[in-house]
Structure 1
Amino acid sequence: MPPTVPAAAVLHLPTLRVTGGKVRADVAYTHAVPKARRTGHTVAVGVDWGLNTLLSAGALRLNEDGRIAALGAGGQFRAAGVLAKQHRLRRLSERLHAKADHYQRLIAGDEQHNLVGKHAVLRDEIRHVSERRSNLNDALAWAAARWTVDQAIAATATVIYLEDLRSMEARGMGATMNTRLSQQVRGKIVDRMRHLAAEAGVAVVTVPARNTSKHCPHCLTPLRHCKAPDQPTVAGWKWAICPNPSCGWQGDRDHGAWRRIAARGLTHQTRTVTDKTSGHMVIRTVVDTLETAAVVTPTTTSRRDRSKTGPTRQNNSRPTPRRRRAPSPTRPQGRAGKRPEGHAPTDRNRLPRAAHRHQGVNTISTPPTVGHRPRGAALGVGFHLHAHATPPRWETIPETQSDTG
C-alpha cells in the first residue's frame, strides 16, 4: 500500500476497471479521525477572502482571562497568476460561444451549409476550453484548501473560521466585477477545506462577514482606507489606518479582516449550530454584547535597555582600510608585471592599452630591455596610465654650500 494510507486503515472491496489494456484496482479505505468540536476552542484560524489575494489567514489565541492575542502576523495565499489565466480562458470561452452562436444563426438548421464543419470545430474547442477551466479550478481549490489546513495544523488550532459566502453575494458592482467574484471558486475551496480539515479533527465554521474589513481589530473603530504605502501608484484601498489616537493600528485591510473573523468566532463559539440540511457548522447572527469583546489585544514588544552605563568609546575618524585576505597573485605569463595585492586580474596576461610615450625617471616601470621601447605604464601593471612614483628623498633635499666652502 502507498504511504498515504494509514497503517490502521480498514480496506474495502476493490473496484476493477480496464484502462489502456491494463486492469486497475481502486481500493477504498476508512480510518478513524478525531471528532471536531463545536465549542471549547482556544486557538483559531481566521480566513478572509480577497479578490487578487485569494486568502488571508492567521491564528488567534483565547487566553484564560478572556483576552485575545494574535499568534504571528499571518499569511496570504496569492493566486494572481492562476486567476489571470482563468480570466483569459473565460474571455476566450465567451468569444468562442459568441462565434458559435453566430454560425448557428447562419446555418439556420441547414445540414448542407458550408459552415457546418466550422461550427463543429468551434464546439470541440469550446469543450476543450471548458475542461481546462474546470481542471484549473480544481487544482486551485485543492491548493488553497491544503494551505489553509496546514496553517491550522502548524498553529495547533482546533477550528477554522470563514466568512459566510451567502453574505458575500456581489450586488451592484457591475458586470465585470461580478464575473470576477464568481470565478473565485470559493465554494469548491470550502468543500475541499472541510474534507481536509475533518481528517485532522479541525472544525470549519462560517461566521457572518459584516464589517470585518470596516472596523479596527483592536478597538472596533471604523477604519480609514487608503493606498498601500509600498505601492503608492497602484489603484485601490488596500491599507487601513485606525483614526483612534490611543490605538493607531494600521496594516493591510485583509490582515485586519482575518483578525476580526477569528475574534468574532472565538467570542461567538457558544452560538455555533449545525445546519440541518448541509450538516455544516455555522454562526448565524452576531450578538452586540459578544462583539464588544471580540477585540485583539495588542502585543507589547520588549526592547533591550539601551541606557548608558559607561563612557562612550571613541571612534577613529580614520579607520584602517580594509585589505584583501587573499595572497598576492602570481606573476602573469607575459609582458605584464606583477600587480599589487588584491588588484590583479588572473584572466589576462597584458594590458589592453597603454600610453604612447617614453617613460621618465619617476614612472613606475621596469628597466627596458634592448630593442624594446616602453609604453607608459604598460610594464607597471595595475596603475593609472599617467601615474608616477614619488621622487627619492635625496632628490627633494636642496643642495647648500657648507661653511667650509
Structure 2
Amino acid sequence: MPSGVLLARTRQIAAFQARYGRLPAGLTECEQAPGAGGHVVLAAVDKQLATIERCPEGPFRYGVLTVRLPVKPAPVCRADWRPVRIRFRLPPHVPATAVLCAPTLRVREGRLLLDVPYALAAPKPERAGHRIAVAFDWGLNTLLTGGTLHLTHETQPRALTDGHPVYFRAGGVLAKADRLRIHGEHISARIDQLRTLIASRQERGMRPNPRLVAKLAVLEAERERVARRRTRLNAALARAAARFMTDHAMAAGARVIYLEDLRDIQARGKGRTLNTRLSQTVRGAIVTHLRHQAATHGIAVVIVPPRGTSKYCPYCLTAFRHHKAPNNQAPGWAWATCPNTTCGYSTGRDNAAWQRIGARGLTHQHKTSLDRGSGTFVIRTVVEALDRASTVQRQTWDRTKSGPTATRPVPGKRRRVPAPPENRTPTRARPGGKRPAGWTPTHPTHRGQRCSRQQGPTTIGTPARPHRPDGARLGAGFHRHAHTTPTRGQPWPSHPPQRFRTPGITQETQAD
C-alpha cells in the first residue's frame, strides 16, 4: 500500500494512545461507528422477491419494479407475501440499450426514492498497443494541464505533440473550499471552547448553563452543514475534472490517459497556506471518477511514476532552469527554460511535465500492470534506457496558403473611415478628411473630465452582466467556477506526416 496510508494510520494510533493512554486493540477501535440512513438494498435479495424491467407502455421513459412485501409482521408461508408494482420514471440520460439493475430504496421527506443502477456494454480497456495518448499533469493554481501525443509507426517510434495544451482551472472552486474550511475551523474552535466551559461547571458540581448547551447544539449542527457543503463541492469538482479528461481523450481519439502518481505526496515545508492547499486537493476522488467514466468508453487510465517529469526538457532531456514566468512576476518557479543552446525550449513547468508523462507512458507500455487493490493500470518502475529515449518532438502544420484566409480582410469588410486628403482623391459621396482621433490620451498624474480613471484604450473592462456559464446552466456537469479549454476535433491526420530536416532540429509537418 502507499506510504501515505501507513503514515496516516500511524498518526491515528498515536492520537488514540495520547487520548486513552493505551494502544488500540485494532484499527476499527480508532474509528467511529459508521452511520447510514435507512435504506433497502434490493441487490442483496433473490429474484423471487424483487424484479425490475422496462415498462411495456413506455420502455424508454418508464420502468417497473415488482417487490414482494409481507402482509404480516412474521410471515411464515407464501400466502403472507403480496407483490407490489412500482412504476417510476427513468432519467433522460439513461440510454435505451441500458440494462436496469436492482435498485436501492430510500425514504426522504415522505417520498420513496429509487437509486437505479444500469449496465452498458463497454469495450475492454487495453493496457498496451496505444498510438495516441492523452497525458495530464497535476498543478496547484491550474489543477490539470495536459495535451495529446502521437506515437509514430517507425522502427524507432517517436512521440509527437501538436503543442496545444489544454487546461482545467478550478481556482474559484478551490477558493470556495478554502473559505468553507476556514469557517469550519472557526466553528470547531468555538465548539471546543463551549465544551471546556460546560465541562468545568460539571467538575465543580454545577449544572450546565442552558444557554451554552443550546449554543453548542446550534454550532454542532452548523459544523455538520459546512462539512456536507465541502463534501458536495469536492464531489462536483471530481466529477467535472474526470469528465474534462474523458472528453478530451474521446475528441483526440485516444484510448489511454496517463496521469502521474501523487499518492505519496506530503505537504511539508511549503508554508502554512500552501501546505493546506496541497492537502485539500481531491486527487484520489478525481482518479476514482475518471476510472469509472473512462471505462464506459473503453479508455484505460494508467498511473505513471512522477520522478523527473518537470525537471528535464521533454525535447532534449536537459535539466531545466526554473524561474519566474515572463508574463507574471508573482513569486514562484512556474516557468522553465532549457539551457541547451540547440534547443532553447521555454514554457511553463506544468506544460513540460505532461509531455514527459505522456512520452514515458507510451514508451513503457509493455511494463503496464494491473493493481489488484484499486483496479487501476500502473507503471511501477522506469527503465533508464527507455526513459532517455522518450524525447518529444513537435508536430508542425503546413502553413501554405492554398485559398483565401478567413481572417484576411476583403474589400467589402474594410473599415469605413475617411482617409487623409493626400492619400485618397475626395469624392462627393465620400469626401476626404482626417481619421478619428480615437481615445482621449491618459495622463499619469492628471485626470481629465472625460477620463475618470487610469485606463488605456486597449484595456478589457469587466462585463456588466454576471458570469453565466452555459455548460453549468444546461446541466453539462461542470461547476460554475471551473473554467476549461474547449474540446477540439481530431488533431491528427489519417496519413503519416512528412519529414524534413533543418540544421540542429528535426521537425514534423503534414500536407494540408
Decide whether the 8 Å contact of 1:167 with 1:208 is kept in 2: no
> Among residues 306, 309, 322, which one is paired with 1:225 in the alignment?
322
**1-side partners of 2:377 and 2:276: how far apart?**
28
Decide whether the 8 Å contact of 2:163 with 2:394 is kept in 1: no
Instruction: Using the TM superposition, give the Cα deviation of residue 167 of structure 1 relative to its aligned residue in structure 2, in angstroms.
Output: 4.2
Secondary structure of 1:85's aligned partner: helix
1:282 aligns with 2:378: yes
Aligned to 1:401: none
Matched ranges for 1:3-402 at <5 A: 3-65=92-154, 66-108=157-199, 110=202, 112-113=208-209, 114-232=211-329, 234-300=330-396, 302=398, 318-320=422-424
Decide whether the 8 Å contact of 1:58 with 1:73 is kept in 2: yes
**1-side partners of 2:332 and 2:342: how far apart?**
27
- 1:20-51 deviation per Cα after TM superposition (whole angstroms, max 9, x unaligned): 44444443321210100000011111110001
Could you say if the C-alpha distance between residues 112 and 169 of structure 1 is closer, same or farther in structure 2, counting changes exceeding 3 Å? closer
Instruction: Using the TM superposition, give the Cα deviation of residue 323 of structure 1 relative to its aligned residue in structure 2, in angstroms.
Output: 8.9
Runs of 4+ in 1 over 6 A off after TM superposition: 321-326
- 1:287-337 deviation per Cα after TM superposition (whole angstroms, max 9, x unaligned): 1011012111133454559xxxxxxxxxx99422899989x9xxxxxxxxx
Decide whether the 8 Å contact of 1:59 with 1:71 is kept in 2: yes
Aligned to 1:387: none
**2-side partners of 1:107 and 1:324: how far apart?**
93
> What amino acid does structure 1 have at the position aligned with 2:364?
H
The structure where strand makes up a greater share of residues is 2
In angstroms, what is the RMSD of aligned CA positions? 2.7
Could you say if the C-alpha distance between residues 175 and 230 of structure 1 is closer, same or farther in structure 2, counting changes exceeding 3 Å? closer
**1-side partners of 2:429 and 2:305: how far apart?**
64
Aligned residues: 319
TM-score, normalised with respect to structure 1: 0.73
- Single out whichever of 170-179 and 258-267 deviates more from structure 2: 170-179
Aligned to 2:43: none
In structure 2, runs of 5+ residues without a counterpart are 1-60, 62-90, 402-419, 437-512
Could you say if the C-alpha distance between residues 107 and 219 of structure 1 is closer, same or farther in structure 2, counting changes exceeding 3 Å? same
**2-side partners of 1:324 and 1:137: how far apart?**
67
> What amino acid does structure 1 have at the position aligned with 2:380?
R
- Single out whichever of 57-66 and 164-173 deviates more from structure 2: 164-173
**2-side partners of 1:211 and 1:60: how far apart?**
19
- 1:59-115 deviation per Cα after TM superposition (whole angstroms, max 9, x unaligned): 100111201101341111001111111111111111111111111111117352242
Decide whether the 8 Å contact of 1:223 with 1:241 is kept in 2: yes
Instruction: Using the TM superposition, give the Cα deviation of residue 189 of structure 1 relative to its aligned residue in structure 2, in angstroms.
Output: 0.5
Could you say if the C-alpha distance between residues 235 and 132 of structure 1 is closer, same or farther in structure 2, counting changes exceeding 3 Å? same
Could you say if the C-alpha distance between residues 121 and 228 of structure 1 is closer, same or farther in structure 2, counting changes exceeding 3 Å? same
**1-side partners of 2:399 and 2:375: how far apart?**
49
> What amino acid does structure 1 have at the position aligned with 2:254?
A
Could you say if the C-alpha distance between residues 143 and 231 of structure 1 is closer, same or farther in structure 2, counting changes exceeding 3 Å? same
**2-side partners of 1:324 and 1:112: how far apart?**
95
> What amino acid does structure 2 have at the position aligned with 1:101?
D
Decide whether the 8 Å contact of 1:167 with 1:209 is kept in 2: no
Could you say if the C-alpha distance between residues 22 and 107 of structure 1 is closer, same or farther in structure 2, counting changes exceeding 3 Å? closer
Could you say if the C-alpha distance between residues 8 and 324 of structure 1 is closer, same or farther in structure 2, counting changes exceeding 3 Å? farther
TM-score, normalised with respect to structure 2: 0.58
Decide whether the 8 Å contact of 1:52 with 1:78 is kept in 2: yes
In structure 1, runs of 5+ residues without a counterpart are 306-315, 329-339, 344-405
**1-side partners of 2:367 and 2:321: how far apart?**
31
Decide whether the 8 Å contact of 2:162 with 2:395 is kept in 1: no
- 1:370-398 deviation per Cα after TM superposition (whole angstroms, max 9, x unaligned): xxxxxxxxxxxxxxxxxxxxxxxxxxxxx
Secondary structure of 2:136's aligned partner: strand
Decide whether the 8 Å contact of 1:53 with 1:76 is kept in 2: yes
Secondary structure of 2:165's aligned partner: strand
